Chains A and B, each alone.
Chain A
């Protein structure tokens, strides 16, 4: 899948300079392991970690949509705005949930490395697809370690990632527009 150069999807994010989103790629530093949270009464350590990873992915998606939305017009710009709202809603839900669990809440990075240059609409759609492939992997991993409403959130999010990835592939003329196992490691 997008093992290399996709820090924006959450996971291997890295700081970069203050120049534009298309800054020269620097080696992305691996995500430092999240602070191990205290075991919660209502979610295991693995679940809390997975939710924190998901929050990092949502932060990154929101950042990426800043670049994506700027390059799109008309219906696609509206779609991007709507998608970004979805990410913000999920971010808020995750922040609330992690707070409820008494777990550390990873803040957004000041900036993120973008895996592709976003200088036009094509680049914007490619970036969107990469964001969703990476986020789908994070949410899919959460399924196995969560239960109840946490797993519902993970499943809804995985489904949303798959649907949006398909929308952006179709909008960008990429084929096929679907993958057989969204979020599964390649």
Chain B
């Protein structure tokens, strides 16, 4: 079609084309900008990768729940076991602080660290609560496994994390000893 129009009009047509192009470019630019700002405003940031210490944090909470389960069934053991359970809660709090992500202060799912005996996660650990000695032996084994996990984490940790994680490993080892 452009080939059929006279030369003077061709200039006009071409000028119009530039305006259209410019307008289209502006519109496209605005659209792109709008899309970008919409992206950053509306779409949540991708979740950060899990911290290497999150399993240790979950383990501390699980150990605290195990104690709650046992003392729920054997209230007479509360005086002996409470300091150990409280240590696990303190470990969890210290790990949340060390990891530096406050949202981890609330467990994503399942019962909280201070959950009642009945809220200990079914399917995660079922202590033989009927017999006190067997319950203590099961706690001891859980502490030993927890100590091994914390020791591995300590040896793999960067310098600024090694001391706290090492203390947690040592505490778990001392708990196993206290349960003898």
Contact = CB atoms under 8 A, between A and B. Distances in A.
B14 to A, nearest CB: 71
B177 interface: yes
Interface string A148-186: 000110110011011101110010000011111111100
Contacts of A48: none
Contacts of B171: 162, 178-182
Contact of B178 (A136, A145, A151, A178): A178
Given A144-B159, A145-B159, A158-B167, A163 B177 contact: yes
Nearest to B167: A181
A27 to B, nearest CB: 29
A180 B169 CA distance: 10
A140 interface: yes
Interface stretch (B47-55, B82-90, B107-115): B82-90
A50 B171 CA distance: 21
Contact of B163 (A143, A152, A170): A143
A151 B175 CA distance: 22
Interface of B: 83-84, 86-87, 90-91, 94, 147, 151, 154-155, 159-160, 162-164, 166-171, 173-175, 177-178
Interface of A: 136, 140-141, 143-145, 147, 151-152, 154-155, 158-159, 161-163, 165-167, 170, 176-184
